[in-house]
Amino acid sequence: MISGVVLLLFVAVALYYCWPRPKSFFLDVTTDYLEVTTDLDTQIVWDISEATLCVPGAREETDGNRTLERNECAGLFVRHALENVELDWPDNVTLLLRSGPNRMLEILIRLEAEQSIEINGVSATAESLLRIPGRSLDLNGGLGLSGDLVLGQTAEHGTLKMLQKGRYETREKPFFRSNALLVDSGSFAMGDAVAIEPAGGEDRISSYAFLTFDEPRGDGTAPFRVIATSPESLSRLRLERARANPSYIEPNWSQRIANDPLAIGIATLLSLLATFLGVLNNLFRR
């Protein structure tokens, strides 16, 4: 009878720690490249003092209130000088952010073929390029982003903009408890591409990221420092590396037990109970 109770307790504990749990991720990454597909977060509005918008089309100068350099927009682009930009990205726009020369943030805007968005009265079509100088970011401390995030790109031949280094933390809230526990942590290597993706039935996970410039290099370029967090959900980290299949980072039962004080206490009690039962069994056999 007692051994049956112990077996049931063991099964209950095993199920408790093996069952998938909602989790949240924290990422601290230095990278020259990231992608975000925006969501409907209406609380993030960029206030930018100055920027240049390069729109595909016949190459020409546009009237503006400041002089544009000849090389600000390469190729067949129309150049628009923007000042005092208030930008609220609409839903489902893919932005490719990369570091440019002289602490320049370059954003390639990916849209459907017939889609466009308006930036300070200028219609930005697919493959438009928004260039924001670092001094505009410095005035606000950085920029917020919300949506599906991909940090870095794999280190294939010819890839110049990629993740340099970073780390992650995984927190889970155990069932029937209020406090989230740190159950896993680790680091990323140069050339990794990292994304937070659903592990359950959700279509997408909207994460939040805050972007600033890191210390500049000798050539004047500066990578981004990105702090990203995800909401509690059934999720995982997808890690891609050059010429390798994607791998996934999510805690297992052993990590949950090793980082849970309650589990350590339960294991101690079960060990003591097993010892006590062994003593009782020997006594009854005499």
**pLDDT score at 63:** 45
What is the pTM (predicted TM-score) of this model? 0.82
Tell me how far apart the alpha carbons of residues 165 and 217 are, in angstroms, rounded to a whole number.
15
Q: How far apart are CA 69 and CA 61, in angstroms?
A: 10
- 217 vs 105: CA distance, rounded Å: 15
Q: What is the pLDDT along the chain (286 residues), one digit of tens a residue?
A: 556 666 776 777 677 777 788 899 999 999 999 999 998 866 788 999 999 999 987 554 444 433 344 456 766 688 899 999 999 898 889 999 999 888 999 999 998 877 889 999 899 988 899 999 999 988 888 999 999 999 999 988 788 899 999 999 999 988 777 788 899 999 999 999 999 999 866 678 899 999 999 998 888 789 999 999 999 988 999 999 998 999 999 888 888 888 777 777 777 777 777 777 777 777 776 6
Q: Are 230 and 198 in contact (CB under 8 A)?
A: no
DSSP string for residues in 73-123: S-SSEEEEEEEEEEE---TT-EEEEEEETTTEEEEEEE--TT-EEEETTEE
96 close to 11: Cβ distance less than 8 angstroms: no
Which residues are CB-contacts of 161 (< 8 A; sequence separation ≥ 6)? 32, 33, 98, 99, 153
pLDDT of residue 286: 61
Which residues are within 8 A (CB) of 83 and not within 5 positions of it... i.e. 6 or more apart? 49, 50, 65, 66, 120
